[in-house]
Structure 1
Amino acid sequence: MPLTLNELARLSGRASEHVLQEDLEETGLSREEVLKKMAERLGVMRDSIRRGLSSDAPSVAGMVGKNAKTLWEAPDPLKDPLLKRVQAYAMAVNEENARMGRIVAAPTAGSAGTLPGALLGVADHLGLPDEDLLMPMVLAAGVAKIINRQIYIAGATGGCQAEIGASAAMAAAAVTELLGGSPEACAHAAALALQNTLGLVCDPVGGFVEVPCVMRNGFYAVHAVSAASMALAGIRSVIPPDEVILAMAGIGRLLPLELKETGLGGLADTPTGRRLAEEALKKAPMPKKG
């Protein structure tokens, strides 16, 4: 039987080891091959963060492009380097996506910044080496796989909860494992992160993955770290993790079409949203059909 979050929570050892074992049995790959792939993806994440923090080039539609660099270079009034780092890393990745740069879809392009923002941000804050991140990334992939068995991970299917919610759950589990959390803590970190994204709509202005997507990744990377902190303290989701996933899938089916990546509702349907969409389409016209 495929691994579930509830089952994962009852296991001992490292959560990522159980996910890895299932993956090896399904794919026939070796442990070394899987970890090599994760190292390659980690390298791409590092590169996208570096480029995003140093560039203020505009995005394709011109609505974003300098947010990560602006935050990274600004004085920190909170004197909290972790918070600023996590936010800036996440936005850097998504602005690279908006510039059509190379990123890792984790699990989608629109939610690509949450996992590297949270995981790499925490690791760099603590001075942890990159090799410590490979198994947490395996766990993150496993969490996405479990969610994807219940609903397609796409804003067009379940709203942004299916994208940023999934990425926050992945990141929360990964950070929890990085910091020594048990499989139970990892599963509940994922559930805590996911349940607090339920009902989140997908309302990209003009249909571009820019507004509110870039800043949303910055917010939800912090959200994932908060979920990990709670789980590591012993806080558990009252609703079992697998039931949280089922609730998200049910809500996704209930969301109207206008709130599922169509650009027809929410922020996209505000007067300013419609104006920005018109301006963006002049800069980056959509390809014609046929």
Structure 2
Amino acid sequence: MRFETLEQLAEICRKENKTIAEVMLEDQAQETGVETEEIFRQMAEYYGVMKEAVRQGLTGNTKSRSGLTGGDAKRVSDYMQRGETSLGGPAAEAMTYALAVSEVNASMGRIIATPTAGSCGIIPGVFVSAQERFDWDDEHLIKGLFCAGAIGYVIANNASISGAEGGCQAEVGSAIGMAAGAMVELRGGTAQQAVHAVGLALKNCLGLICDPVAGLVEIPCIIRNGLGAVTALAASDMALAGVGSVIPADEVIGVMLEVGSAMPTKHRETGKGGLAQTPTGRKLTKELIEQRRKKAKESNTPDKEN
């Protein structure tokens, strides 16, 4: 790629009068040797999976195999239909869709890791709800995915997108930053405004630990996806309004790396700290272990009739 930082990316866009999506698509084609048309077609397929995951999460059975989660997206959707939300329609819808996709993931459904499975709901939640609100065609949203991908590329190479390496700030935080920056570009903002949105979003996620109950991508991961979609919309609105990230986004990414590296191991996806080690978290973990042992024992029991 021709860029290593978001500032370099924004400068390329300024000099060449291109969007982040255009630069990313061109650079990806150059890097891989694959025609831009084919790369765009592949991204279109990914967006199709995202939209289907939203639909499945709102209409299908999303009960997870552990039994810990499922159905929250439908609950929020029903609540939203009653017109009682404090957030208002657009943000509530993005939150609902993000929950839906995350629940599909937890129930072993098909999703796109954006950038990880643990943060898979945020970008679809923001994108699909925005498409419905603004009546955008798929092509516009697919371009937005290239913008999000460019942002994720910078974060992954200068910090991390792995919860095991950098905590949940690296997974959910990165997805929020990617969605926020892409949303700015989708709504006609400049590349520099998109970069500011990333900085604003990431600053709000610094230090977020990865503490999955029973080591599953369910609690608190699913809820964080829903709330993350709302944060992404807020950051994009701030940037479009002219609010800048006083600490440059690239420096914020550097802090993500610093904080993630300093984070105790128990707060990095091990399930040994945070919410996973609350009394309720330990109780749920114990119950799941006992259920697994019981099922394993039953599956190994010989058929009495034989």
Which residue of the partner structure matches residue 7 of structure 2? 6
Distance 1:151 1:274 in 2: 31
Alignment partner for residue 230 of structure 1, among 226, 229, 238?
238
Deviation at 1:2, TM superposition (A): 3.0
Which residue of the partner structure matches residue 64 of structure 2? 59
Distance 2:201 2:244 in 1: 11
Across the aligned residues of Structure 1 and Structure 2, the Cα RMSD in angstroms comes to 1.6
What do the CA deviations read for 1:170-194 (whole angstroms, capped 9, x no partner)? 1011111110011101111111111
Alignment partner for residue 37 of structure 1, among 31, 36, 42?
42
Which residue of the partner structure matches residue 184 of structure 1? 192
Alignment partner for residue 136 of structure 2, among 128, 136, 160?
128
Alignment partner for residue 77 of structure 1, among 62, 71, 84?
84
Residue correspondence of structure 1 range 27-176 to structure 2 within 5 A? 27-74=32-79, 75-78=82-85, 80-176=88-184
Which residue of the partner structure matches residue 299 of structure 2? none
Alignment partner for residue 254 of structure 1, among 247, 262, 273?
262
**Are 2:3 and 2:9, in contact at CA under 8 Å, matched by a contact in 1?**
no
Sequence identity percentage: 43
Distance 2:258 2:227 in 1: 24
Which residue of the partner structure matches residue 269 of structure 1? 277
Deviates more, 1:165-174 or 1:78-87: 78-87
The one-letter code matched in structure 1 to 2:5 is T
Deviation at 1:257, TM superposition (A): 0.4
Q: Which runs of 5+ in 2 are unaligned?
A: 297-306
The one-letter code matched in structure 1 to 2:285 is A
**Are 1:207 and 1:262, in contact at CA under 8 Å, matched by a contact in 2?**
yes
Distance 1:230 1:165 in 2: 17
TM-score of the two chains, using structure 2 as the length reference: 0.90
1:278 aligns with 2:286: yes
Q: Which runs of 5+ in 1 are unaligned?
A: none
Indicate the structure with greater helix content. Answer: 2
**Are 2:144 and 2:183, in contact at CA under 8 Å, matched by a contact in 1?**
yes
Deviation at 1:118, TM superposition (A): 1.0
Other structure's SS at 2:117 match:
coil
What do the CA deviations read for 1:18-61 (whole angstroms, capped 9, x no partner)? 12222111111111111101110000001111000113441121
The one-letter code matched in structure 2 to 1:134 is I
**Are 1:55 and 1:69, in contact at CA under 8 Å, matched by a contact in 2?**
no
Which residue of the partner structure matches residue 208 of structure 2? 200
What do the CA deviations read for 1:119-142 (whole angstroms, capped 9, x no partner)? 221221222221210111001111
Distance 1:41 1:281 in 2: 35
TM-score of the two chains, using structure 1 as the length reference: 0.95
Count of matched residue pairs: 287
Q: Which has more radius of gyration?
A: 2
Other structure's SS at 2:272 match:
coil
**Are 1:60 and 1:283, in contact at CA under 8 Å, matched by a contact in 2?**
no
Distance 1:195 1:19 in 2: 24
Distance 2:21 2:292 in 1: 42
